[in-house]
A and B are shown apart, each in its own frame.
Chain A
Amino acid sequence: MVHSMKKNNFLTTLKEMPMSIWNSVFRNNLPHTDLGRSKTSFTNFFLHIHPVKVHKHTLKPWFTMGLGLISLFLFIILTVTGVLLMFYYVPSTTQAYDRMLDLRGSVAFGVFLRNMHRWAAHGMVAAVFLHMCRVFFTGSYKKPREFNWVIGVFLFLLTLFSSFTGYLLPWDQLAFWAITVGTAIAGYAPVVGEQMRFLLLGDTTVGQEALLRFYVLHIAVLPIVMFLLVAVHFWRIRKDGGLSRPEDADVVETPEVTAPASVPAPAMAMAAASGSSGIVVLEKKHYGIQGLVRGPFTKVGNVPENTVFSYPNLLLAELFVFVLTVAGVIIVSAYFNAPLEEPVNVMHPPNPAKAPWYFLGLQEQVSYSAFWGGVGVPAIEVLILLLVPYFDRGVKGVGKWFAKERLLANTLFMVFVVVNIILIIIGTFFRGQNWEFVSPF
């Protein structure tokens, strides 16, 4: 009997095996209850970055336009295609160009991989910049999100630098001269300029050492730093109370709850901080660790039912942005080939030698004044960007596009954006031989 029971048990075990494997991987089944939905977000490694519930305002497509997500997905696409490209690439001045020809000639999906990587890189520079504009124009960098804005600015600079270091790798004329111009701009910095340039190039001119350094920066150093900063960036979004939203976002939709809720909020936070009494509430309402979030955005007891479950609402929205991003990149990659110019000829600069497009604004400024255009003004711009949330301490107009209360700040930022875009357009289309003004028409 014991024997048969054992056998029976074993059979049952076998029978249940697929389900137990499934259950061990996915801690709960597809959810049908609110408890299940929160657990899904909560217990999944990849989903637990989400809050269990998000505010409805966060899901409004025209508020974020998904720009941050697009940036992230482009980063992921770049990582995947980049790793694949690494299987073929050799950072050597004698081999790099031949490897490009191989990618184009005989590697399966070689052209397509290169195209995806190239266009996604350009796209990411644009998306990150636009994301920054969105955050500014909606006033979302204000307290308590100041430092996340600072991280964002660093991420933007890293994105530029990643794209720039990648630009050299094909080792064609376009790459060589763009980097020659770009690093020459770095050389204009006072005192440390030349040393900085030398450190970057490992030589006085762009050559094998520079190629190797750019390669290592491009495939290891910068992605790792960016990965960490992105993680912090996301973590802080949650810790700072989710995406920004206007003060009246809750008032309008659930006016009856707001009034009484304003009283217990501080008390609630205190309770949560001191321990046990908070947890009771949390269990009852299935808010999980959310209750520990500090600050005025704490949801517990404060913002009752203007939120929806992240699973599936947020997830679906993210998936949608992901699919759109991938679709955009592959469609562009199917129709436009990444450029590959002549092999490097150090004796023959193209005229004009142009930096990558996102640095053409800089190059245009450099054509007016080497120091101010290349170093002075950009340094001041970056400094101001970093300090923006500490200059602008007003709390009005958060979470609304072009809020009336922020007319001055928005106007100033708009001028900064438009001027830079105009400079880039001039540098890209209106500059011909010897950097003389030409009409593209």
Chain B
Amino acid sequence: MKMRLALAIASILILVVHGFIFYKQFFHKWETYQASYFDQARTLAKTDQEKDALSGRSAKIEQIIVTQFGNERVDRCTTCHIGSDDPRFKDAPHPYKAHPYSAELGDKQGADGKWERRHKFSDMGCTVCHDGQGRGLEEFYAHGEDEFWNDPMIGYVTQENWKYKDKLKGKEFMQANCAQCHTDKEFKSTPLVNKGRELFIQKNCYGCHRIEGISNGTLGPDLSEVGKKWKLDYIYESIVDPRANSKTSFMPKFNLSDDEVKALAIFLKSRRGFNYAETNLDRYRMTLNKGQVTPPAPVTDKSPVPAANDPVARGEQLINERACVACHKIGDKDGGIAPDLSFEGLIKEDKWVAAHFKDPRALVPDSIMPTFGFSDADYQAMTAYLVSQKKTPSLNNPQEIYTNLCLRCHGDKGDGHGTIATYLDPYPRDFTNAGFMNSKTDDRLMNSIKNGVPGTSMPAWGKVLNDDQVKGVLTYINQNFTKEARTEIKKRDVPEKNPVADTPESVAAGESIYLQRCTGCHGRKADGKGPNSLDILPRPRNLLNAGFINKAEDRRLFESILYGVQGTAMPPWIDYGLSKDDVGNVINYLRSLNKNKKDLVAMCH
């Protein structure tokens, strides 16, 4: 009996819940809207024709199925916005309000005062211009307020968790969608897309990013489909704060005004990997061209100043136009991202500068400098200008020298965290690391300052400073940053030359030792990016850096491997059972990795 009672109660419970669910299912907001629309329309209907049209209609889900724009779209927006194409409702409140007519959109007013739309809703649907979720019938989903919908109604609706929601409203954002069909670069109704496209070139974004049909950069992510894959907020944030979403990003924070960011964001939102104006043939042609580097150079064409004849003047002109100082420092203009070029004529030869322009990573393997596809003549002019920067700075004491030449990379505290340090790889040396500093001889440190460190951003300051000045800076560094008295450096038994002959067997033996012992930090590819590398500072050396490895003497490599590098994560391998022969094999292996790049070494200083 008890059981029967419980059963009855449980059954009633189910019944109640069912009632609730049925209620939720059958009483929709949109039905209320439609009922109200029909009421209003009936009172507004004047002619018999209008009345007849209404009498046949009842509440139902309205939908527009659009097939000509990309994948099939189903837009049910008109279920609530049922008066959107009814001119009698032009002043009604939302959702009954009629879509305004606009000459700007191409709508035409006939002689009888009636407007005709250029973009017919029955052909286009709604979401093709407005975004939002056409299939949804609840405001929250239909308008894209749901955080899992990438395209809320553009310019109108932002999502709760958007960081920059204040900046992302305004119907001008819809230009991103106009550009889906109106791909003409000069199309006058999409000024912000056009401006964004120009900025993409002007601010050198194209150097790193690829956008199909526009650029071929490979350093940063491909942005051809960025508008399809990301929310407006994410795009905006990635421009304003590149490391907000990807901690390892080395994209600089560019100095852009709000309007510029907006234009760029709108331009990027318009990149959806395809546009409706393209034919399949266009797309096929694009894929055929893919391998071909066709550098955009609209900035040169648009140059307001006529090209100067003198290569140095022309070079200066180009360097200014191409916003090199958006990253680099030249004189008092400082982009705060890339090395100082003010003394380029003193510290680099024209051969090096020209080669570096063509392929920065051939000389500094981990450089983030993009390869710009300028013409040879342009490169020559730019090189000529840079090597003309020969004015020796007047630097009176070590402190001035440090402040002017070293501080930008090594930082005011000497800890290697200078303003541009994040963009340099290898990272600038930390002078406060006494373990390292005091394990190296004065000669070695002097040598690094005087002759630079090949394959890195450290230039040969010996060409700007005399020996006394170099010594002075070193003392300054030692007193102010390292702060520990120099200690006697242990003499170690290290051969000057690698005693193991460079044979294929030795290389193979070296490789197998390398794979066993070194890959954790230096990586399987020996590029210094092993799985542990991210947790280590200073970072493991990139052993494919030919400039560095080929310039390093056997003795130095031997010592670093056998006895470790103090103050870094490199352990003394002699303690872990490596013999001198083993080390010799490893060195032969490392040298073999860099062998075919020997001609570059001549270039490094």
Chain A interface (Cβ < 8 Å from any Cβ of B): 94, 98, 101-102, 104-106, 108-109, 112, 172-173, 316-317, 319-320, 323-324, 326-327, 330-331, 334, 340-343, 345, 347-348
Contact = CB atoms under 8 A, between A and B. Distances in A.
Contacts of B141: 101, 104-105
A102 B24 CA distance: 17
Contact of B133 (A101, A320, A327): A101
20 contacts: A104-B136, A105-B76, A105-B133, A105-B141, A106-B61, A109-B25, A172-B148, A316-B7, A320-B3, A323-B10, A327-B17, A330-B14, A330-B18, A334-B17, A340-B148, A341-B148, A342-B149, A345-B229, A347-B229, A348-B229
Interface string B19-54: 011001100000000000000000000000000000
Contacts of B74: 98, 102
A152 to B, nearest CB: 27
Majority SS of interface residues in chain A?
A: helix
Given A98-B74, A172-B148, A319-B7, A327 B229 contact: no
Given A330-B17, A334-B20, A341-B148, A101 B10 contact: no
Interface of B: 3-4, 6-7, 10-11, 13-14, 17-18, 20-21, 24-25, 61, 71, 74, 76, 133, 135-138, 141-142, 148-150, 229
B328 to A, nearest CB: 31
Nearest to A102: B135
Given A105-B135, A105-B136, A334-B20, 5 more contacts: A98-B74, A101-B135, A327-B17, A330-B17, A334-B17
Nearest to B73: A98
Nearest to B6: A320
Contacts of A104: 135-136, 141
* Candidate in B4, B21, B137, B142 with the most chain A CB atoms within 10 angstroms: B21
A334 B21 contact: yes
A106 B11 CA distance: 29
Contacts, number: 68
Q: Could you tell me the dominant secondary structure of chain B's interface residues?
A: helix
A343 B135 contact: no
A289 B2 CA distance: 32
A68 B181 CA distance: 59
Contacts of B24: 334
A104 B61 CA distance: 14
Contacts of A319: 7
Contact of B10 (A112, A324, A334, A342): A324
B140 to A, nearest CB: 11
The 3 A-B pairs at the shortest CB distance, nearest first, are namely: A101-B135, A323-B10, A341-B148
B25 A108 contact: yes
A108 B76 CA distance: 15
Given A105-B135, A327-B17, A316 B4 contact: yes
Contact of A327 (B10, B21, B136, B138): B10
Nearest to B22: A109
A309 to B, nearest CB: 14
Contacts of A112: 21, 25
A98 B3 CA distance: 46
Contact of B14 (A101, A172, A316, A326): A326
Contact of A323 (B11, B18, B136): B11
Given A94-B71, A334-B20, A320 B10 contact: yes
Contacts of B150: 342-343
Given A98-B74, A105-B76, A334-B21, A317 B14 contact: no
